Structure 1
């Protein structure tokens, strides 16, 4: 690229939901997509930044190992999960993906390649920087052992307060009703229908379910008390239907389901369809022609302290009305802190994920519901991930995401401003 020209990645796939017009060019990092080494003795892996978790899991499972946190979608990359955060059902004990990184090699905005570890400021400031300080070229990460199967227990709760209490108790004890718990997440189907799914490793299984074809995983949460999945199928249980979002594409209809090849039942396929629709505004034009209400995409993941979970869900059901929503508890492992996403290591948070659209009321501007969510999350002492649309005023944004620390890192590692500013990228979508 020419000197002084703004830098961006040329990527064929993305799990972000900040859509922009496609532009030619970009920094080609496609070849940084390999698992370089897996060491079963030290339980570590050396991985390039554009490696997907699907490829990483395929490399580690034969050794009886997995990453400490495996985000739910197969095409999330290691570099993306560290620069843009990630979470899954092991996060109540293993934190976030960047907390299992031992060493990070970064191409900075100034064109330097630097190798940093936990004692370095860039290592600490890289999570939640979204490629505005540099790009991860290589990561050394920790791994943990697996067993062949995961047993699932889907535990129902009619009351959100009791569900929140159970989350706190289970995560503190790492057990439920005297039996071990290695994984915790959940789904909320309405104000009186909450489920926690508790997983534990087992060596054998009396049966194994398969949700990679005609059967739909999230429906099993409501219908089965106990289930068994292989380790690999457990890690990707949400990917086949992009949680529940495949409903929008009609592929949960039994007839359509049988006709669609399995290779297309993947989150990245659905995401490309959404990107095409956003780019060409097909759905928006059709809705306008049919006189339907204007719709606002509400695609967010927020971290709420467990003490405020019931209050947030009550607000959400009343004002937003999307269901189902996902629950995933998380507590940081590392007490030294991550300045651009400052969570309290002494607090158990619950990630609440919701991904749909809402009908706007007459005269209600696009962005109003997302802004309402941002304000409620802040009032409860929570945090919001930045992979999708954000509407914060600039001063409020920097108050939440440590503008002082960010600006110091920006001066040090991107002094010419060749990479975008975090606010410009995540809010202004430049």
Structure 2
């Protein structure tokens, strides 16, 4: 039985506050005993009410496939799909009318934001003025309309989370080309914010697998756009952080998957050796498609991890001389007596540090970082304690709970008036060593760092070499389309003189890279538009949101009420 989200969040908040009080020096012994008794009582109640049920065995993909696609179910499937589309059209019509009404009656300088069913996965920013904007309700956009197994495509509304999506696709032997690592991220949010994961070295971001968007402009106009229909608009939606239009529907590509994943942890002692291994896997990224990796190739790979190809890869830098590349491949079956990893007991970043290999279900692999929101809990006392996690992990952990707590308890992430550094930066592979040396000098030995190799796809639109929404000058003279996403999560700025966000912005721009905007930003306007394509953005913005109801990209992501 699953704990209801509201109960889970409330208990999580109480748990954090009780632990905080418990660790204070001015608390008496009697009070400590009382708090501990309350915690123990909560654990006992939760265990017997919610947590004592055995974990179900992973679904056999092949058996599900046989059951799902029996001919006598085809008519029912078509009728269900038609109902989904009819209901969707009704929902978007209502949203269009709400936007038109707001646009007609709003005062100059007013804006609106979206009221969604999921928690925001942007870094918590309690001072952001957009929290005071009016709301347009899109909470009903949470339906998967259609999964086409033959064409390996899916059509779904923008509020569908990756958690919900893969629960539907994995039993069919399919998954998105890029599955965001946190369960609560929505597919619309993944496009607006440019999400990445371990297949990104082959497929880029989730937005690169999208074939079509349905959007509502700031004028209340409903538009379908694709690489061939409204191509400039289509290529400006991703990375716009909701400032161009409201995404309501997406059609995107899927890939074949198997029930389990094997991860081989490949270690290097130097950044040069690490990048060399990444480059080899990248060079062979198209050696086999998912469909071509038959049982024989799979067995060869399992026996010989030195083969220079992999289906998925990401990495963790644990120390300045401990680099781990996580080479992952789908498998049909588990070796005898294999124990699957469960990351609500031990955080994944810890299990990946010293192991040689790992097995997990495909679902658990996709969300291996979710329980701790990577490693954001390690700065909070007691939350990596194995005993507490084993008893309460299923109830309290998970990125959605963590982000809700951080949003409502801002002191957890903004210590001493300065927010912790939570950021992804994309660096061309030829400049990664320079960046890493600078990182050691500037940040010291703060680890781990999350590493995601990323293919920057080639574009044909108006002779753009790479993403049209990036400044073309930024992409000039690059030797490779391979970038490395280097993620710094949880670095504490409290008590430090430097503004580390601003230092990152300057260094990343110098190295022809890009810093994501999901977190705190301190750009001046000139340096900001050295990264992003101002002429194209302004052109599309004027067409889709001339009253600036969705806010302008620079102002939305670089608000000035900061220290």
Which structure 2 residues correspond to residues 22-421 of structure 1 after superposition, within 5 A? 22-23=131-132, 25-119=134-228, 120-174=231-285, 177-178=306-307, 180-206=309-335, 207-249=338-380, 250-278=382-410, 281=411, 295-321=418-444, 322-336=446-460, 337-341=466-470, 346-359=480-493, 364=497, 368-421=499-552
1-structure distance, mates of 2:156, 2:413: 39
Q: Report the alpha carbon displacement of residue 335 of structure 1 after superposing the two structures with TM.
A: 2.6
RMSD of Structure 2 on Structure 1 (CA) = 2.1
After superposition, give the CA deviation of every residue in 1:374-402 in whole Å (9 maximum; x if it has no partner): 11111111111110011111011112111
Query: Is 1:427 aligned to residue 536 of structure 2?
Result: no
What count of residue pairs does the alignment treat as equivalent?
418
Higher helix share: 2
Structure 2 CA distance for aligned equivalents of residues 326 and 263 of structure 1: 26
Whole-angstrom distance in 2 between the partners of 1:349 and 1:283: 29
Contact 1:18 1:429 (C-alpha < 8 Å) held by counterparts: no
Deviation at 1:179, TM superposition (A): 5.8
Residues 213 and 369 of structure 1: CA distance in aligned 2, closer, same or farther (over 3 Å):
closer
| Greater relative CO (CA pairs within 8 A, separation 6+) | 1
In structure 2, C-alpha distance between the alignment counterparts of 1:140 and 1:405, rounded to whole Å = 24
Q: Distance in 1 between matches of 2:190 and 2:553?
A: 16
Q: What does the per-residue CA deviation read over 1:68-118, in whole Å, with 9 as the maximum and x for residues that have no partner?
A: 000110111111111110000000001111111111000111211100011
- 2: CA distance, partners of 1:411 / 1:352: 34
Unaligned runs of 5+ in 2: 1-100, 288-304, 461-465
Partner Cα distance (2:412, 2:268) in 1: 40
Where in structure 1 do 4 or more consecutive aligned residues deviate above 4 Å?
342-346
**1:310-366 deviation per Cα after TM superposition (whole angstroms, max 9, x unaligned):** 22122112211331110000103443342223685942100001111334556x26x
Residues 456 and 483 of structure 2 are in contact (CA less than 8 Å); yes or no, is this contact kept in structure 1? no
TM-score when normalising by structure 1 = 0.92
Report what 1:291 is aligned to: none
Could you tell me how far apart the structure 1 residues matched to 2:437 and 2:400 are? 32
Q: Name the SS for the 2:420 alignment partner.
A: strand
The structure number with the bigger radius of gyration is 2
- Identify which range, 257-266 or 295-304, moves more after superposition: 257-266
- In 1, Cα distance between equivalents of 2:537 and 2:209: 22
Contact 1:208 1:230 in 2 (8 A): no
Deviation per CA, 1:25-44: give whole Å up to 9, x if none: 40100000111111111101
> Relative to structure 1, is the Cα distance of residues 302 and 196 closer, same or farther in structure 2, using a 3 angstrom cutoff?
same
Q: Aligned partners of 1:58 and 1:341: how far apart in 2?
A: 34
